[in-house]
Amino acid sequence: MSAMHAMLIVAAALLALVHAPAVNAAELQLFDAHIHYSQPDWNVVPVDRALAILRDAGVKRAIVSSTPDDGTVKLYEKAPDVVVPFLRPYRTRADRSHWMRDPAVQTYVEERLERGIYRGIGEFHMDGGPADADGAVIRRFAEIGAERGLMLHAHVDAATIERLATLYPKTRFIWAHAGFAGADVVGPIVDRFPNVWVEMALNSPASGGTLDAAWAKLFTRHADRFMLGTDTWVTSRWESVGPGMRDYRAWLAQLPADVAEKIAWKNGERLFPPGR
């Protein structure tokens, strides 16, 4: 093979990469990795209405956790093919500030897990930062996660997810909101920790409708590690599910089709296969 011929082959390969086929974002299935159906929602957004909102937004399946957990159970019993149930360790909102130091919360979670329906624990907050990561309750949850194949959904900052991933390398974590950090912070963490996946709820990688170049490179480099999310943390957020998913479709359309499909739904489907 001549040097010129070899150069032409390389150039063709690079051109093909640059012009990788775009996805038809309007037709993408969607997996939402961050939905809550907590007690204030139940009367305002009844079960059938909540499921209709997800369906109308194009969401085929969603991770759901709630305060109290009864909300998740309500949705799961109505639509087990849609809901991926996670067990939130909050019996009431008051538990948010101290759950990681409360043995009663550990007992509550272990008893609820006996239902056998859950695919993870969380979403939970650790406002004390890395210092909370080696407490007895979170340590037990990490052990349970590793033993049973349950993922832990952590709303924490970058330093805390690094601490969790380091202390519990056999446990798989979903990092909520990408820690509200930029690609420059998220990238090195995903590079370093193969047990961390990331969901992007309320952390837009696009500005003015244009996907940030640093995020685009990170999504392409780690296409298997990112998911979407809307976070219905208050009742009014249910009205944002549809518009939020339209925003996701806009920047997913700026990625190569295979990358967009993984982030949109394939990663969630791979992590949580239906029927298991």
259-276 tens-digit pLDDT: 999 999 999 999 999 976
Residue 260 within any structural domain of the chain: yes
β partners of residue 206:
211
Strand 120-125 and strand 83-87: pairing? parallel
Q: What is the mean pLDDT of the chain?
A: 92
**Structural domains in the chain (count):** 1
The CATH code of the domain that includes 42 is 3.20.20.140
Count CB atoms within 10 A of the CB of residue 56: 11
The whole-model pTM stands at 0.91
Question: Which pLDDT belongs to residue 20?
Answer: 52
Angle between helices 70-78 and 47-56 (to 10 degrees): 70
Residue 64 within any structural domain of the chain: yes
* 8 Å CB contact between 184 and 214: yes
Report the alpha-carbon angle 122-38-157, nearest 5: 35
Residue 197 within any structural domain of the chain: yes
**What percent of the chain has a predicted confidence (pLDDT) above 90?**
88
Would you say residue 182 has pLDDT above 80?
A: yes
Residue 96 within any structural domain of the chain: yes
Residue 203 pLDDT level (bands cut at 50, 70, 90): very high
- Separation CA 28–CA 51 (nearest Å): 18
Give the DSSP letter string of the chain.
Answer: --HHHHHHHHHHHHHHHHTPPBP-GGG--EEEEEEE--TTHHHHS-HHHHHHHHHHTTEEEEEEE-SSTHHHHHHHHH-TTTEEEEE-S-SSGGGGGTGGG-HHHHHHHHHHHTTS--SEEEEEE-TTGGGGTTSHHHHHHHHHHHHHT-EEEEE--HHHHHHHHHH-TTS-EEEGGGGG--HHHHHHHHHH-TTEEEE-TT--SEETTEEPHHHHHHHHHTGGGEEB-----SGGGGGGHHHHHHHHHHHHTTSBHHHHHIIIIIHHHHHS-TT-
pLDDT tens digits, one per residue of 139-163: 999 999 999 999 999 999 999 999 9
Residue 245 within any structural domain of the chain: yes
Strand 120-125 and strand 226-227: pairing? unpaired
pLDDT tens digits, one per residue of 20-59: 556 676 789 999 999 999 999 999 999 999 999 999 999 9
Residue 12 pLDDT level (bands cut at 50, 70, 90): very low
Residue 169 CB partners (closer than 8 Å, separation 6+): 195
**What percent of the chain has a predicted confidence (pLDDT) above 70?**
91
Residue 136 within any structural domain of the chain: yes
Closest listed residue to residue 73, CA positions, set 41, 28, 118: 118
Residue 276 within any structural domain of the chain: no
Domain span at 210: 3-271
pLDDT tens digits, one per residue of 70-94: 999 999 999 999 999 999 999 999 9
Residue 133 within any structural domain of the chain: yes
Would you say residue 11 has pLDDT above 70?
A: no
